[in-house]
Amino acid sequence: MEARLIIVGLAMGAYAWAGRQWAKSGAVDTPVKTALWHGVFCALSAFSVVWIVMMSFDTRARFISVAVHVVSTTELYPSLAAGLIAGAIGFWRGLAKGRDAAGRRYFLAEDTEWSETVFSAVLLAGVLMYFVIQAFKIPSGSMRSTLIEGDHIFVNKFIYGLRVPFAGRRVWPLRRVGRGDVVVFRFPDDDPTQTHCGSVQYGRDFIKRVVALPGDEVAVKDGRLFVNGKEPDEQGYAQWVDGASRQPESVQSESLAPQRYQKVWQEHRLDRELQDVERDYFGPVRVPARSYFVMGDNRDRSCDSRYWGPVGEKFLKGKAWLLYWPPSRMKIVR
């Protein structure tokens, strides 16, 4: 969301800058030029609004191609359609009312003013969401009962340091990621064509609890977590809804040498290699440098690092901070 708000803000800023320059030079001096200018503004506005609204529904479709990494079909098609329709209406309106100099000046000034307003507001919102704080809605029951479906939380995005755009690192951290932190992150597999847990997860935001840090050894035996050979105290949050019913240990996992097991897990290929999920019997693996092992508190209903591997530091968005909606559940997330 935050990256796209910044894109929309920059696009509107570029439009406003061009409008100011052309207003000074008098370049928009014919009905056709006025119509084209107003049509571009209407198309850009409609595309941006529909793009953000469709994204907020969090609909996840397969991507058009490997090249189109950031826009799914459910976002792209309606946005393009809205942009084309609004652009055509804007062109017709500009052509009809831009026949005289006063009408042309009106459209140029009005569109430039609106684009400057959107540029300031949207870019500021995008920067705040990227670097400071962001709202997040819990999409599934994997964190029950700490967080349940439909809960709305604020995510602290600067506590682990400010994200350096496109660099995959952070600067000036207030503190390091700690064992037990509830974190929000982008799905850690960079391949947009791969399926995990039954569907394509690329680009989605997840929320889980950090259970192991870089260098820790992690294993799951009979559904129970072991970190560095010891079972941590998880009575305050972990739950197992299947009770004593556990999956049998997979014969396939035993056929993988420890080095091979570590490699395919670290490369986010373990669930595909085994053709099944090692929910109750997993590892042991060693968490690589600058990475974390995360699990949902609802252990029997969580798609997590047991399935698709470690979460690299570059994928972290922030730490879950405050559950603010519904008011009856308001609390600091721990």
Contacts by residues 199-203 (CB-CB < 8 Å, ≥ 24 positions apart): 199/60, 200/60, 200/62, 200/63, 201/303, 201/308, 202/63, 202/69, 203/69, 203/70
- State residue 274's pLDDT score: 80
pLDDT tier at 74 (50, 70, 90 boundaries)?
low
**Does residue 305 have a pLDDT over 80?**
yes
Residue 45 annotated among the catalytic residues of the structure: no
d(CA 146, CA 292): 20
Residue 282 pairs in a beta bridge with: 220
d(CA 326, CA 57): 19
d(CA 73, CA 62): 7
- State residue 300's pLDDT score: 92
**Does residue 65 have a pLDDT over 50?**
no
Over residues 246-260, the mean pLDDT reads 76
- State residue 299's pLDDT score: 93
pLDDT tier at 66 (50, 70, 90 boundaries)?
very low
- State residue 108's pLDDT score: 74
Residue 24 annotated among the catalytic residues of the structure: no
In 3D, which of 312, 319, 318, 64 has the Cα closest to residue 190? 312
- State residue 251's pLDDT score: 58
- State residue 61's pLDDT score: 36
| Per-residue pLDDT reduced to its tens digit, 77-86 | 777 788 888 8
Over residues 200-221, the mean pLDDT reads 93
| Per-residue pLDDT reduced to its tens digit, 13-41 | 888 888 888 777 877 778 888 888 788 88
The single residue of 157, 208, 317, 319 carrying the catalytic annotation is: 208
- State residue 73's pLDDT score: 52
The single residue of 115, 142, 250, 305 carrying the catalytic annotation is: 142
- State residue 57's pLDDT score: 52
| Whole-number average pLDDT of the chain | 83
For the chain, give the percent of residues with pLDDT over 70: 87
Q: What is the pTM of this model?
A: 0.72
